[in-house]
Structure 1
Amino acid sequence: MSSNNGQDTSIWTASQATASRPSPADRFNIDREGPAKRALTLWALQQRFQKLNDYYDKAAAEIRASLERAPPR
């Protein structure tokens, strides 16, 4: 036991340690909506990245075509 000015602080620190850890019930409490929300977010991101990828592919093709049409110097 540790004491500080005659007061026992071991109980206080033990209660703080248990308060910072989640209870077993909290650890196994599954968020049922979480996976569906994440799946929807990932689907939206996939759609966005697909559109960007298509845009960049088209831009790169246009640049290549313009370089092929340019007269040599």
Structure 2
Amino acid sequence: MSSHKGHDTPIRSALSAVDAAASRPSPADRFNIDREGPAKRAGNLRALQQHFQKLNEYCDETVAEIRASLERTSLR
């Protein structure tokens, strides 16, 4: 294809844009969405939920102990 005073520049630009888009990884590949199976992800989420539940219980117990300690010191 011969160029006559740059008339094929828009075509070349369009082709290079298509080539660039085709060479980019898909969103699934970029974010590794499907690398783990759904069952494995669900198991990981359950484990995280249990971890955070235990952490929340620990925080609740600690706050209760601090409040009790503060009440004991204010009664003196």
Give the TM-score normalised by structure 2: 0.57
What is the CA-CA distance between 1:43 and the residue it aligns to?
A: 0.7
Aligned partner of 1:33 in structure 2 is: 40
**After the TM superposition, which parts of structure 1 deviate over 3 Å for at least 4 consecutive aligned residues?**
26-30
Query: What CA RMSD, in Å, does the superposition of the two structures yield over aligned residues?
Result: 3.0
Higher helix share: 2
Q: Secondary structure at the match of 2:59?
A: helix
1-side partners of 2:17 and 2:65: how far apart? 68
Structure 1 residue 28, shift from structure 2 partner: 7.1
Identical-residue share of aligned pairs (%):
8
Tell me whether 1:14 sits opposite 2:56 in the alignment.
no
Deviation at 1:54, TM superposition (A): 0.7
Across the two proteins, how many residue pairs are aligned to each other? 63
Determine which structure has greater relative contact order: mean sequence separation of CA pairs < 8 Å that are 6+ residues apart, divided by chain length: 1
Residues 2 and 10 in structure 1, CA contact (< 8 A), matched pair in contact too:
no
With the length of structure 1 as denominator, give the TM-score of the two structures: 0.59
Which protein has the bigger strand share?
1
Measured after TM superposition, the shift of residue 22 of structure 1 is: 3.4
